[in-house]
């Protein structure tokens, strides 16, 4: 590396050739890394002293070691691209990457076997430390050596399956394992064990930090190109079998993993990398394989009903009767804006905002069909039995002015109009009435009044009376807010 860099630039280096400069920088990185004071910068005097200590183990002649250390310090001070001056006679590695790489080469040189190296790294891996250094050192030690790669995989799997390891430590080891798949090609049987053990560990820790777990799991698909298709197949098999046998919490992890991180930028070590996420073809196959089960459970399991609505844009009346419409509110359809299910239905049914949907099965006709079902349900239940439910803090709700625009754009029958008005009522109440302020409030009241008149004109007096109640509720909320 040094010779190529200097040779390409016709740079003559006045440094003795009796030692390896790579080893010198690796030794300096070892002394500096993980030392907060030294990491902030070292003096030329400190560098010369440490180089002399290192060279005294390499060269028999003490004067020769001293002269070589001075020459190397001059090399660093004058023009080295590895270390640079950051202050008055204060030097540090030019990039953090250089420091991590040279420290990793030092560790590789210190430990002869994979087992010895992993044992030295393990305490830091368990504490979620030395992420880049650990992976670099393992990559150097196992480079193009399948036996060593399988040996390293076996060591990681044994730690993941160790019942004595704590939950946070298992989570850290699993995250490290996922990232190591970038270079640990190994045999397919070894890679399978690593994936299954890692996914099991990530699933166990899902309740601790779901975003961290999902990000780590998504990195499976950014692994070594030689094993990428195989990895995807193993992950798909694990998802299917775990979904079939798992609890609701296990299913939450799987569904979030499949749907939640497509195209997001995720942290990969110290850099941000575009997550390749779950391949679209795999998502399609996975959904198709579990769809019959979701349909069967949609009237007995609210989470199944919610997922079915998110994926197909359909809210079965049996599900609404069994659980009420709350599962629609908590749903997260694939929209370019994060809105709840009721808002998504209104946005699509209005026609004006249908372009926000990223799903072909969540179009205007499907939205109108769902609103018609909801309208008939609320017509039978009455507004008094339509209880608000806790808001979802992760989702947005259109302001009152947008709701007025949505209602104004409706060109449908009474059931759809009624459902849209009730959805507006529920959403404004669920979100602390924050969407019912100032001019938004007046615009919304005017539109509700217009909807009431339209329903009366069509002789749908029951629906008109419900809209009148909604209008009065919205007005009372606004008045109470002003009084406060």
The pLDDT of residue 272 is: 33
The pLDDT of residue 76 is: 72
- Which tokens hold the place of 73? 């310090």
The pLDDT of residue 189 is: 94
Is the model's pLDDT at 433 over the cut of 50?
no
What does the pLDDT look like over 60-106, one tens digit per residue? 777 877 887 887 777 776 555 778 888 788 888 888 999 999 999 99
Residue 290 lies in a domain: no
Domain count, the chain: 3
Same-domain check for residues 241 and 276: yes
Same-domain check for residues 54 and 149: no
- Which tokens hold the place of 297? 């459970």
Among 35-49, 281-295, 316-330, 376-390, where is mean pLDDT lowest?
Answer: 376-390
Same-domain check for residues 116 and 210: yes
Tokens 């669920």 correspond to 430
Same-domain check for residues 193 and 80: no
The pLDDT of residue 247 is: 82
Among 253-257, 415-419, 432-436, where is mean pLDDT lowest?
Answer: 432-436
Is the model's pLDDT at 15 over the cut of 60?
no
Same-domain check for residues 37 and 154: no
Among 224-228, 257-261, 283-287, where is mean pLDDT lowest?
Answer: 257-261
- Mean pLDDT, range 464-481, rounded to an integer: 78
Listed in sequence order, the DSSP H helices in 80-130 are 96-110, 114-126
Q: Is the dihedral of CA 53, 55, 56, 62 positive or negative?
A: negative
Is the model's pLDDT at 357 over the cut of 90?
no
Is the model's pLDDT at 12 over the cut of 50?
no
The pLDDT of residue 478 is: 60
**pLDDT tier at 275, thresholds 50, 70, 90:** very low
Residue 394 CA neighbour count, 13 Å, CB half: 6
The pLDDT of residue 19 is: 57
What does the pLDDT look like over 320-343, one tens digit per residue? 989 888 888 888 776 666 778 888
Average pLDDT, whole number, for the chain? 80
Residue 61 lies in a domain: yes
Residue 272 lies in a domain: yes
Same-domain check for residues 66 and 120: no
Same-domain check for residues 170 and 88: no
Among 115-129, 191-205, 359-373, where is mean pLDDT lowest?
Answer: 359-373
Same-domain check for residues 366 and 260: no
What does the pLDDT look like over 360-417, one tens digit per residue? 677 888 888 999 999 999 888 876 656 555 656 555 667 777 888 888 888 777 899 8
Is the model's pLDDT at 240 over the cut of 80?
yes
Q: Among residues 51, 66, 95, which one ends one of the domains?
A: 95
Same-domain check for residues 134 and 254: yes
Task: Tell me the three state secondary structure of residue 268.
Answer: strand
- Mean pLDDT, range 177-200, rounded to an integer: 91
**pLDDT tier at 276, thresholds 50, 70, 90:** very low
Q: Is the dihedral of CA 59, 61, 64, 66 positive or negative?
A: positive
- Mean pLDDT, range 299-306, rounded to an integer: 91
Same-domain check for residues 326 and 466: yes
Gyration radius (Cα) of the chain, Å: 31
- Mean pLDDT, range 247-258, rounded to an integer: 81
Same-domain check for residues 341 and 479: yes
Is the model's pLDDT at 268 over the cut of 60?
no
Same-domain check for residues 275 and 378: no
**pLDDT tier at 435, thresholds 50, 70, 90:** very low
Residue 89 lies in a domain: yes
Q: Among residues 221, 249, 284, which one ends one of the domains?
A: 284
Strand order in the sheet with 90-93: 42-43, 90-93, 83-87
CA–CA separation, 129 and 396 (whole Å): 37
Residue 159 lies in a domain: yes
CA–CA separation, 384 and 108 (whole Å): 72
CA–CA separation, 394 and 212 (whole Å): 17
The pLDDT of residue 391 is: 58
Residue 298 lies in a domain: no
DSSP-assigned letters across all residues of 178-241:
HHHTTT----HHHHHHHHHHHHHHHHHTTTT-HHHHHHHHHGGGGS-GGGHHHHHHHHHHHHHH
**CB 387, CB 396: distance < 8 Å:** no
Residue 321: its H or E element: helix 317-323
Residue ranges making up the domain that contains 272 = 111-284
User: pTM above the 0.75 mark?
Assistant: no
What does the pLDDT look like over 130-164, one tens digit per residue? 999 999 999 999 998 999 999 999 999 999 999 89
Q: Any residues with CB less than 8 A from the CB of 141 and at least 6 apart, and which?
A: 108, 111, 114, 117, 148, 152
- Mean pLDDT, range 169-194, rounded to an integer: 90
Is the model's pLDDT at 481 over the cut of 60?
no
Residue 406: its H or E element: helix 400-409
Residue 297 lies in a domain: no
Q: Which DSSP symbol is given to 21?
A: H
Among 27-41, 322-336, 371-385, 419-433, where is mean pLDDT lowest?
Answer: 419-433
**CB 340, CB 306: distance < 8 Å:** no
């Amino acid at each position: 590396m040094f010779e190529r860099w200097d040779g390409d630039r016709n740079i003559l280096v006045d440094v003795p050739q009796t030692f390896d400069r790579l080893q010198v920088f690796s030794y300096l990185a070892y002394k500096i890394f993980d030392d907060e004071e030294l990491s902030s910068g070292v003096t030329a005097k400190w560098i010369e002293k440490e180089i002399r200590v290192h060279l005294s183990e390499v060269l028999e002649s003490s004067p020769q070691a001293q002269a070589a250390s001075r020459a190397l310090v001059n090399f660093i001070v004058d023009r080295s691209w590895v270390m640079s001056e950051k202050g008055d006679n204060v030097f540090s590695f030019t990039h953090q990457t250089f420091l991590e790489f040279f420290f990793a080469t030092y560790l590789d040189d210190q430990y002869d076997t994979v087992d010895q190296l992993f044992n030295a790294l393990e305490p830091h891996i368990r504490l979620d430390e030395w992420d880049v250094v650990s992976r670099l050192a393992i990559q150097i030690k196992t480079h193009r050596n399948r036996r060593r790669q399988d040996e390293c995989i076996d060591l990681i799997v044994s730690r993941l399956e160790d019942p004595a390891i704590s939950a946070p430590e298992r989570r850290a080891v699993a995250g490290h394992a996922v990232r190591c798949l970038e270079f640990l090609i190994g045999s397919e049987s070894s890679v399978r064990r690593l994936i299954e053990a890692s996914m099991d560990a990530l699933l166990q820790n899902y309740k601790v930090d779901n975003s961290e777990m999902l990000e780590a799991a998504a990195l499976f698909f950014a692994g070594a190109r030689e094993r990428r298709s195989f990895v995807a197949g193993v992950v798909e098999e694990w998802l299917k079998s775990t979904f079939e046998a798992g609890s609701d919490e296990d299913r939450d992890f799987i569904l979030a993993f499949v749907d939640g991180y497509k195209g997001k930028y995720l942290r990969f070590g110290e850099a941000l990398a575009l997550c390749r996420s779950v391949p679209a073809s795999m998502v399609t196959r996975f959904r198709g394989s579990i769809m019959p089960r979701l349909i069967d459970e949609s009237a007995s399991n609210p989470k199944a009903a919610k997922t079915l609505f998110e994926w197909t844009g359909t809210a079965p009346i049996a599900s609404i009767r069994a659980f009420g419409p709350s599962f629609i509110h908590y749903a997260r359809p694939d929209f370019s804006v994060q809105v709840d299910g009721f808002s998504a239905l209104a946005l699509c049914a209005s026609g004006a905002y249908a372009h926000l949907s990223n799903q072909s099965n969540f179009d205007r006709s499907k939205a109108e069909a769902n609103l018609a079902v909801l309208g008939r349900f609320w017509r039978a239940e009455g507004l008094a039995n339509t209880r608000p439910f806790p808001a979802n803090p992760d989702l947005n709700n259109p302001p009152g002015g947008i709701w007025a625009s949505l209602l104004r754009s409706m060109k449908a029958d009474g059931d759809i109009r009624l459902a849209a008005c009730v959805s507006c009522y529920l959403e404004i109440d669920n979100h602390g009435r924050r969407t019912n302020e100032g001019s938004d409030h007046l615009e919304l009241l005017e539109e509700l009044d217009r909807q009431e008149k339209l329903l009366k004109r069509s002789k749908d007096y029951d629906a008109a009376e419900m809209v009148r109640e909604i209008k009065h509720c919205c007005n009372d909320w606004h008045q109470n807010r002003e009084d406060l």
